[in-house]
Structure formats: structure tokens, C-alpha cells
Amino acid sequence: MDFFTSEKLILVIGSILGITGTTIVVSLKDKIKKITTSSVNYIFSTLNKEFTYKRFEKRYLKSINTQNKYIKVIGTWGKYIRNPKIEDVYISLDLFSNPVTAKEIINKSLNLVKNVSITLNDALKQHNKVVILGDPGTGKTTALSYLAYQLSSNMSSKKRHKLGACIPFLIPLRRITDSDSIFDAILDNTKSIIPKELLKDCPKDYLKSRLNSGKCVFLLDGMDEVHNDKEYRKISDLISDFSISYPDNKFVVTCRIASWMNLLSSDFILTFIRPFNWNDIKKFIESWHLAVMTGIIPELTHKNTEHKKKALEEAAIGANRKSRKLVLSLRKNDRIESLATSPIMLSLICLVHYRLGDLPQKRSVLYDECIRILLDAWDREEKNLEIENMPNLSEKEKILQEISFKMFSDGIREEKRGHIIKITEEILQQLNIDTDTKSLV
């Protein structure tokens, strides 16, 4: 009886354990299924989100690449001249740097830090926050445009950039002076940091995702181009706050030396654009002529391969001949050669020589030709302006002098078109010129 009872008890206990075990297994199976389903859904959701990000990013990079593919060389107009590709004519800017931080430069002479030369790419490889200081026309904006072009070319280039797969955001600072943050400005369709046609398709949290992963390079151009000191200080605060909030990203700020107020956070590294040396000048002249003189050939020759090849060879020979002639002209005149140390002035020198077939040996004559290009020929040939009673060159100079004096007197560095039109109308009345002011401005 005791044995029977023990066996029975064992059977009962076994049954209970079996039922309990089955329940546990079923319960665990359901939990595992839920966990697995949740994990799979999360993985697919993450992959789908990243796929959406990548698809948008590819379109954005292509747009940035297209925007910065060509360099605007002053005076490249007319039937047989086109703007050259930036990679064909750009001369990489070298920067002077100790490097020193903004804090360390206080009360020091700028000359004390101009003892080490470094490229912008290397500076950004070593430091996340860099300021580029330079005089007007030294190529600050073009340097940022070229970097944006290089980074946006990563998607199709076999040779990776030194900075890796970074996303460039080129931001003219004068556009965002009324913004509450740089983050908001980038996503504001009135600022055109991201083209409007793309911004409407920008995935939610895309920018935040890339910022958190440290994949962004912010190219912040022209601190000196904001309207007044109040806006300058506000922009400085926006940049400092943004760079502190997302320290794993890269930040480049450009400013004229004379306008630098040293208001950014103290961890920004200061660099100074090195003027062109003679090797840079020669390389620029050669690149300028080759790019300008061969740029139109594919368009003229269409699909005729042999004709295209021959035309390119002839254009290259002509470019080499013109380059050597200009180099010799500069070597003969130290005063003219001293003007050729900045990209914008060297572009004008190349153009004057290209149009005249020779280079004026007097600085005053060279300046006159540069002004004529900017105010006269450029309007007619580049802008293709056809305005009744168009002011002549001297009248245009008078108009610009009056506008400049007015803006200087009012302490204004940049003015809205509406106000410029109003000022111009007053000047035209004084000069007794009856023309369409809105078309002229």
C-alpha cells in the first residue's frame, strides 16, 4: 500500500511537472517569438531608415557636386570660352598655422604664427575646428567650394578623400543671420542650404543622425559679410554653440583678417592663407589657359572623335604658347608681378592678357582694363544685357562710387536690392540718364 502510494505520488508529481514544463516551454516559446519578431522588425526598420537616408544623401551629394563643379572665372564669356572645371584650374591653398587656438592668438602678432605651412585637408585631418583668415580675393570661398566638390565626389571616386566619407554643408553666413540655430537654418527652405527641391524629400531625423555619427563637415563662409557687429556676434554664438553640441563633426569658418573679432569658442584653430608664390602663379596661369581654351572643344566637336582629339591638341598648344608669353611678361615687370599673388587678381591679369594679346606694363593701364572687363564687357557679353540708354563706363563708375560712398557712410557692408535700386534712381536723375533702373541693377 505504501509502495503503491509512493508510485502514485511519483506519477502525480511527474504529471504536474510535465504539465508545468510544457507550460513553461510554451510560455518561453511565445516570449522568444515576440523577442525575435521585435528584433527582426527593429533591424528591418533600421535598415529601411538607413536605406532612405542613403538614397536622399546620394541625391544631395550629386546636387552639391554639380553646384561646385565649375569655377567662376571672371570674364569667361562669349562663344568660345566657358567656365573651367574647378578640379582643372584650382590651385590648392596652403595655410600658415602654428597651429594656435583662438585663445592663444590674443595679444600676439599675427606674424608669430606664420611659420608653418599646411593644406586645408591636413588641417582638418588634425583638427575639427578651423578658421581660415585671408585678405579679399585670396580664395577663401573657392577653397570651401573645392572642398565641397571633393567630398561630394567621394560617392563615385575610387580614391577616397583624406577626411573619409563626410557630408559637406556649404553655408554662406550672411544668409542665416536671422536664424535661431545653424541646425534650423539648414532645414529652412528659405535659406537654400539644401536645395529646395531636395529639402522637401529630406527624411525626418536625417540631419540629426549624421550629426550624431560625426559625419558632417560644415563650411561656414564669410563671417565678415554679415551686416553689422550685432549680427557678427550672433553668428559667432551660433557657430560656437553648434560646434560644442556636435563636437565630433568638422567645422571650417572663413573671415577677412581685418574683420576678425576673435569671438568663436577658444578651441578653434586659426590659419592664414599663404599668398601665391611664383610656382603657384605659373601653375595657375598654365591651368587657366588650358582649361579655358579646351573647355569648349567637346561642345563644338560633338561626337566626332578624331576632330575632337585634333582640336584639343591644337588648343593645348595654343594654351601653352599664351601661358609662356604671360609668364615672361610678368617676369619683366616686378610691380605687375606683385599684383598676381591672389587668385582674383591673377584671373583678371590672365583675362586682360588673353583679350589684348599682351600685358600692359603700367599698373594704371592694367587697372583700367580690369575695370573695363568688370563694368563694361562683362555686362554686355557675360550678362548679355540689352538695356535702352545703357550708361557708359564712366557713368557706371560714377554710379558705383556713389553707392559705395553711401553704404560706407551708413556703415553698411551689404544692401538689399530694393534699396540699391532707390539709390541708383537718384544718381541716374542727377546724371540725367533715362534708363530702366531695375534692369540695370
Q: Are residues 377 and 400 in the same domain?
A: no
**Percent of the chain scoring above 70 in pLDDT:** 72
Calculate mean pLDDT across residues 275-287. Answer: 88
The reply to whether 332 falls in a domain is yes
pLDDT given at position 38? 55
Same domain, 295 and 248: no
Same domain, 282 and 267: no
Q: What is the reported pLDDT for 380? A: 55
Q: Do residues 242 and 358 share a domain?
A: no
Please check the confidence at residue 408 and state whether its pLDDT lies above 90.
no
pLDDT at 422 over 70: yes
Please give the Cα distance from 427 to 441 (Å, whole number). Answer: 12
Asked if the structure places residue 112 within a domain, the reply is: yes
C-alpha cell at 366: 592694367
- Please give the order of strands across the beta sheet that includes 250-256: 117-119, 94-101, 269-273, 129-134, 250-256, 216-221, 167-172
Domain with residue 111: its CATH number is 3.40.50.300
Query: Considering the domain boundaries, does residue 57 fall inside one?
Result: no
Same domain (yes/no): 229, 284: no
Residue 83 has pLDDT above 80, yes or no: no
Final residue of a structural domain among 253, 274, 295: 274
* Residue where a domain terminates, one of 249, 274, 299: 274
**84-110 average pLDDT score:** 63
Q: What is the pLDDT of residues 27-73, one digit of tens each?
A: 666 666 566 555 554 454 455 777 888 999 999 999 999 999 887 66
Which pLDDT band holds residue 123 (cuts at 50, 70, 90)? confident
pLDDT at 115 over 60: no
With a cut of 50, say whether residue 108 has pLDDT above it: no
Both 329 and 379 in one domain: the answer is yes
* Pairwise CA distance, residues 136 & 143, whole Å: 13
Give me the chain's average pLDDT, please: 79
CA angle 209, 213, 218 (to 5 degrees): 85
Predicted confidence band at 3 (pLDDT cuts at 50, 70, 90)?
very low
Higher-confidence residue of 429 and 415: namely 429
**Is 363 in the same domain as 248?**
no
My answer on whether 242 and 118 are in the same domain is yes
Mean pLDDT calculated for residue range 249-255: 96
pLDDT in tens, 145-186: 999 999 998 765 555 666 778 899 999 999 999 999 999 999
Exposed e or buried b for every residue in 287-314, given b needs 16+ CB within 10 A? bbbbbbbbbbbeeebeeeeeeeeebeee
State the average pLDDT over residues 273-290. Answer: 88
Q: Among 239, 274, 309, where does a domain finish?
A: 274
The domain containing residue 359 runs over which residues? 276-384
Per-residue pLDDT, averaged over 399-418, amounts to: 71
Q: What is the pLDDT of residue 402?
A: 79
Q: What's the pLDDT score for residue 42?
A: 46
Which pLDDT belongs to residue 355? 83
Confidence of residue 435 (pLDDT cuts 50, 70, 90): confident
Q: Is the same domain home to 117 and 233?
A: yes
Do 170 and 315 sit in the same domain of this protein?
no
115 assigned to some structural domain: yes
Q: Say if residue 175 is in the same domain as residue 288.
A: no
| Inside any domain, residue 29 | no
Q: What's the total number of domains in the chain?
A: 3
> What is the band of 413 on the pLDDT scale with cuts at 50, 70, 90?
low
Residue 192 has pLDDT above 80, yes or no: yes
Q: Which residues pair with 134 in a beta bridge?
A: 256
Q: State the DSSP H helix or E strand holding residue 284, giving kind and residue range, or none if neither.
A: helix 278-294
CA angle 214, 218, 221 (to 5 degrees): 170
> Among residues 74, 121, 113, 75, which one has the least CA distance to residue 96?
113
The pLDDT of residue 74: 60
Residue 335: pLDDT band (50, 70, 90) is confident
Query: Considering only 77-81, 215-219, 278-282, 400-404, which range has the smallest mean pLDDT?
Result: 77-81
Residue 360 clears pLDDT 50, i.e. is over it: yes
Is 39 within the bounds of a domain? no
Res 318 pLDDT > 60: yes
Higher-scoring residue by pLDDT: 43, 281 = 281
Residue 134 has a CB neighbour count (10 Å cut-off) of: 22
State residue 273's pLDDT score.
86
Above 80 in pLDDT, residue 116?
no
Q: Is residue 302 part of a domain?
A: yes
- Its pTM stands at 0.73
Please report the pLDDT score of residue 106 as a whole number. Answer: 44
Residue 111, pLDDT above cutoff 60: no
| pLDDT the model gives residue 232 | 92
Is 350 within a domain? Answer: yes
In terms of domains, do 323 and 258 share one?
Answer: no
* Terminal Cα-to-Cα distance of the chain (whole angstroms): 116
| Structure confidence at residue 385 (pLDDT) | 52
